[in-house]
Amino acid sequence: MNRRRFLRDLLSGAAALACTPALLRAATGNDVATGFATGLRRHPWMAGWKNMDAESLGPTAATLRGRWPKGLAGTLYRNGPARFERDGFRYSHWFDGDGMVHAWRVGERGVSHRARMVATPKYTREQAAGRFLYPAVGTTVPDARAIRNNDDANVANTSVAVIGGRLFALWEGGSAFELEPDSLVTRGPTTWREDLALAPFSAHPLRDRDGSWWNFGSISLLGGAGLLVWHLGADGRLLGATQLATEQHGYLHSFAMTDRHLVFMLMPFRFSEAGAFFERMHFAPDLPCRVAVVPKSAPDTARWFDVDFAAVYHFGDAFERDGEIHVRAVRHTDPAGASSPMAATMRGEREPAPTSGQLRTLRLDLRSGRARWQTHADHVMEFPLFDPRTPGDRPARLYAPTAVTPDVPYFNAVMSFDPERDRRQLHRYGDRVLAEEHVFVPRPGSRKPGQGWLVGTLLDADRGRSGLAVLDAEHVDDGPLAEAWLPYTFPLGFHGAFAGV
Amino acid sequence: MITRTAFAAVLFAAAGAAAAADLTVEVADIRVQSGQLKLAVVDSADGWDGKAKAVAGEALTPTGATATFRFKDLPPGTYAVQVMHDENGNGKLDTNFVGMPTEGYGFSNNPRVMRKPTWDEARFELGAYGTTVAVQLR
- Check residue B4 and give its pLDDT: 41
C-alpha distances (whole Å) from A41 to each of A67, A344, B100 are 35, 15, 45
Q: What is the mean pLDDT of residues A45-51?
A: 98
Band the pLDDT of A339: cuts 50, 70, 90. Answer: confident
Tell me the per-residue pLDDT of A295-330, one tens digit each, with 9 for 90 and over.
Answer: 999 999 999 999 999 999 999 999 999 999 999 999
Contact A146 B138 (CB under 8 A): yes
- The mean pLDDT of B50-66, rounded to a whole number, is 95
B14 touches chain A (CB under 8 A): no
Nearest to A391 by CA among A212, A214, A209, A234: A209
- Looking at A330-344, A439-453, A457-471, B15-29, which range is the least confident one? B15-29
> Which pLDDT belongs to residue A222?
73
- A148/B98 CB distance under 8 A: no
pLDDT in the model for residue A273 = 79
Angle at A435 between CA A431 and CA A436, to 5 degrees: 165
Q: Which amino acid is at A136?
A: A
- pTM for this entry: 0.91
Tell me which chain B residues have a C-beta less than 8 angstroms from the C-beta of A197.
96, 100, 102
Confidence of residue A112 (pLDDT cuts 50, 70, 90): very high
Confidence (pLDDT) at B10: 37
Asked if the model's pLDDT at residue A383 lies above 50, the reply is yes
3-state DSSP of A442-490: ECCCCCCCCCEEEEEEEEEHHHCEEEEEEEECCCHHHCCCEEEECCCCC
pLDDT of amino acid A23: 34
Q: What backbone torsions phi and psi does residue A44 show, to the nearest 5 degrees?
A: -55, -30
Across the interface, of B100, B104, B138, the residue whose CB is closest to A145 is B138
> Residues 63..82 of B with a Cβ closer than 8 Å to A: which?
none
- Average pLDDT, integer, range B71-94: 96
Q: Which residues pair with A417 in a beta bridge?
A: A398, A424
Put simply, whether B91 touches A (Cβ < 8 Å) is: no
Looking at the partner chain, which of B96, B97, B112 has a beta carbon nearest the beta carbon of A146? B112
For residue A147, give the nearest of B96, B111, B114 by CB distance. Answer: B114
Cross-chain residue pair B113–A146, CB shorter than 8 Å: yes
Report the pLDDT averaged over residues A345-364: 92
pLDDT at B3: 38
In angstroms, rounded to a whole number, what is the distance separating the alpha carbons of residues A217 and A204?
10
Q: What is the pLDDT of residue A337?
A: 83
Share of chain A above pLDDT 70, in %: 94
Q: Which residues of B touch A221 (CB under 8 A)?
A: none
pLDDT tens for residues A387-401?
999 999 999 999 999
- Check pLDDT > 90 for residue A272: no
- Residue in chain B nearest A226 by alpha carbon: B98
Partner residue facing B96 (CB), from A11, A18, A197: A197
Residue A9 has pLDDT above 70, yes or no: no
B112 contacts A149? CB cut-off 8 A = no
Which H helix or E strand runs over A337?
helix A335-338
Q: Look over chain A and give the mean of its residue pLDDT values, rounded to a whole number.
A: 92
Q: Residue A334: which pLDDT band, with cuts at 50, 70 and 90?
A: confident
pLDDT in tens, B99-119: 899 999 999 999 988 788 999
pLDDT at B15 exceeding the cut of 80: no
Interface of A with B (CB under 8 A): 4, 7-8, 10-11, 14-15, 18, 144-150, 152, 195-199, 219, 222-224
CA distance B23 to chain A (A): 24
For residue A109, the tally of other CB atoms under 10 A from its CB is 9
Best CA proximity match to A9, nearest among A257, A384, A232, A278 = A278
CATH node for A3-500? 2.130.10.10
Q: What is the mean pLDDT of residues A201-212?
A: 98
Model pLDDT, residue B13:
38
Residues in chain A closer than 8 A to B113 (CB atoms): 8, 11, 15, 146
Distance CA B45, CA B67 (A): 26
Between A11, A219, A222, which is nearest B113 by CB?
Answer: A11
B122: left (phi > 0), else alpha (psi -120 to 50), else beta? Answer: alpha
- Dihedral angle, C-alpha A375, A379, A382, A388, nearest 10 °: -70
What is the least distance, in Å, from the CA of A186 to any CA of chain B? Answer: 18
Confidence of residue A20 (pLDDT cuts 50, 70, 90): very low
Q: What's the mean pLDDT in A100-117?
A: 96
Q: pLDDT above 90 covers what percent of chain A?
A: 84
Query: Are the CB atoms for A426 and A404 separated by under 8 Å?
Result: yes
Q: What is the pLDDT of residue A179?
A: 98
Instruction: Report the mean per-residue pLDDT for chain B.
Output: 88
pLDDT the model gives residue A338 = 86
Give residue A408's pLDDT band: very low, low, confident or very high (50, 70, 90). Answer: confident
